[in-house]
Amino acid sequence: MKISKITVWQVDLPLHEGDYKWSGGKSVETFDSTIVGVETDEGVIGYGEVCPLGPVYLASYAKGVRVGVEELGPSLLGENPLHLEKLNRLMDQAMKGHPYVKSAIDVACWDILGKVSGLPVSSLLGGAYGENFVLYRAISQESPDEMAKKIAGYREEGYRRFQLKVGGDPDTDIKRISQASAQLQPGDKLVADANTGWLKHEAMRVVEAVRDIDVYIEQPCLRYEDCLSVRKHTNLPFVLDEVIDGMPEILKASHDLAMDVVNIKISKFGGLTRAKQARDLCVSLGVAMTLEDTWGGDIVTSAIAHLAHSTPTDFLFTATDFNSYVTQPLANGAPQRINGRMASSMAPGLGIEPMMDVLGDPEFVIS
Ligand code: MG
């Protein structure tokens, strides 16, 4: 089986809430998502999706996905899409870095592998645990009152885990955390994600002020060393995200006792092949995980669902249902949130069928 054609589409994903805001005044109103179809000489087509969180979250941007696939795609024609490790090595030889560019291609090849073998991707990733898995809701950065109100509302919808977007003015952030925690019931979990937004002295003030609150602290500062310094001065459970994008970083952070939970985003690691490798390493190291992506619609959410559902339940801290944040559906068969939880499809591959009328005309085709 050989890759014979790669097709790329662009779709806008507006948000139900109108916009999404996080540290440093960063925000997105409409997400720009790229869908990649990888077709084989035997007529099987697999799909992947990549949607950066704007151009200022990670070193990735929406147009970069498409320019990158245009650059990388021709070197993959004629290659076997089922040989995922070989294919990833080939992508790394053809293009240094840019994991987010490779992610949609890799996920599309997992979809092909599932369709050809007749198995859901969750089975290929190790097998699904339980009926479904737990989701969190990200709470966009607003006033402390507004964020507390949103937690109460999303709690009504069934969510039991909440990720507060902090990383702003430390005094306001202390109020955000305190007011949000007052909304919680026993068993709920609260994460304060600063998204690199605090300097060390600000982070130290916040963790000291909220020391008696049951809250996780995520990625307080920009640099790994600064996060580690804050970590050493707090007993609150600690999550690393932006500074962890590969196996060496996971091993170093584990060795330094720098985190209790790690955030693995599929496109940050370059696709499901590398995300699975990272997931399995974290299980071996005893580190729990948030499994998700930078953003996306139905196809990204399907890929997250297969990865999360095939992760041992006690290691899955939480996962994300991005397709319920956006107003635009992309595919039939995508998993849907029920009472704050989600299950991956049992159909072969990702279990989705793109809505071709939504995808529209391709941006370009490589063949
Ligand atoms: Mg985060």
Average pLDDT over residues 332-361: 98
Ligand 1 center to 74 CA (angstroms): 34
Tell me the Cα Rg of the chain.
20
Q: How confident is the model at residue 333 (pLDDT cuts 50, 70, 90)?
A: very high
> How would you classify the pairing of strands 288-292 and 189-193?
unpaired
**Residue located via tokens 């479904």:** 132
Cα 232 to averaged position of ligand 1 atoms, centre (Å): 19
pLDDT confidence tier of residue 250, bands split at 50, 70 and 90: very high
Same domain, 19 and 113: yes
Six-digit token string for 246: 């590969």
At 69 the pLDDT is 98
Strand, helix or coil for residue 78: coil
Residues 128 and 104 in one domain: no
Residue type, 168: G
358 and 209 part of one domain: no
Of the candidates 220, 253, 301, 259, the one whose C-alpha atom is nearest the C-alpha of residue 51 is: 301
Write the DSSP symbol of residue 124.
H
Instruction: Write the DSSP symbol of residue 79.
Output: S
Q: What is the CATH number of the domain that holds 84?
A: 3.30.390.10
| Structure tokens that stand for 324 in this block | 């319920």
Q: How many Å apart are CA 163 and CA 351, to the nearest integer?
A: 28
Q: Show the tokens assigned to 315.
A: 């290691």
Quote the pLDDT of residue 67. 98
* DSSP string for residues in 265-325: EHHHHTSHHHHHHHHHHHHHHT-EEEEE-SS-SHHHHHHHHHHHHTS-GGGEEEE--GGGT
The two tokens of residue 256 are 């330094």
pLDDT band at 348 (very low <50, low <70, confident <90, very high): very high
pLDDT tens, position by position, 16-35: 999 999 999 999 999 999 99
| Residue 37, pLDDT score | 98
Residue 66's pLDDT is what? 98
The per-residue pLDDT for 211 is 98
How remote is the CA of residue 330 from the centroid of ligand 1, in Å? 25
Question: What is the residue-wise DSSP string for 167-214?
Answer: -S-HHHHHHHHHHHHTT--TT-EEEEE-TT---HHHHHHHHHHTTTS-
Based on the fold, state whether residues 272 and 132 are members of the same structural domain.
Answer: yes
C-alpha span between 242 and 257 (Å, rounded): 17
d(CA 279, CA 290): 10
For residue 59, the CA-to-ligand 1 centroid distance in Å is: 15
Res 185: pLDDT: 95
Same domain, 165 and 50: no
Shared domain check, 81 and 39: yes
Mean pLDDT, to the nearest integer, of 224-235? 98
Question: Is residue 165 annotated as part of the catalytic site, yes or no?
Answer: yes
Split at pLDDT 50, 70, 90, the class of 299 is: very high
Same structural domain for residues 127 and 242?
Answer: yes
pLDDT digits 0-9 by tens, 52-68: 999 999 999 999 999 99
User: Among the options 26, 102, 265, 268, which is catalytic?
Assistant: 265
Please state, for a pLDDT cut of 90, what percent of the chain lies above it. 100
The residue among 136, 140, 141 whose CA lies nearest residue 291 is: 136
| CA atoms in the 13 A half-sphere facing the CB of 325 | 22
Helix (H, G, I), strand (E, B) or coil at 116: helix
What is the distance in A from the centroid of ligand 1 to the CA of 195?
Answer: 6
Q: Measure 10 CA to ligand 1 centroid, in angstroms.
A: 25
How much is the average pLDDT of 233-255? 98
271 shares its domain with 320 = yes
197 to 22, 93, 162, 185: CA distances (angstroms) = 9, 34, 18, 28
| Residue 345 binned pLDDT confidence (cut-offs 50, 70, 90) | very high
Average pLDDT over residues 222-239: 98
- Ligand 1 centre to CA of 105 (Å) is 24
Domain that residue 88 falls in: 3-118+354-366
| Structure tokens, 241 | 């995200």
Structure-derived torsion over alpha carbons of residues 280, 190, 260, 195, reported in degrees to the nearest 10: 90
Same domain, 114 and 203: no
User: Which amino acid is present at 80?
Assistant: N
User: Is residue 215 domain-shared with residue 174, that is, in the same domain?
Assistant: yes
Give pLDDT tens digits for 110-161: 999 999 999 999 999 999 999 999 999 999 999 999 999 999 999 999 999 9
- Helix (H) / strand (E) containing 285: helix 272-285
Q: Band the pLDDT of 11: cuts 50, 70, 90.
A: very high
- As a whole number, the mean pLDDT across the chain is 98
Could you report the per-residue pLDDT of 169-183, keeping only the tens digit for each?
999 999 999 999 999
Cα 365 off chain centre by = 27
DSSP class of residue 327 equals S
Cross-strand pairs, 30: 14
pLDDT in the model for residue 327 = 98
Q: How many domains does the chain have?
A: 2
* 75 and 148 co-located in one domain: no
Q: Is 265 a catalytic site residue?
A: yes
**CATH number of the CATH domain containing 186:** 3.20.20.120
- Rounded distance from Cα 25 to ligand 1 centre (Å): 16
Distance of CA 315 to the CA centre of its chain: 16
Same domain membership, residue 114 and residue 128: no
Residue with tokens 């950065």: 141
Catalytic residue among 165, 175, 189, 200: 165
Q: Are 253 and 231 in contact (CB under 8 A)?
A: no
Backbone angles phi, psi at 317, to 5 degrees: -65, -45
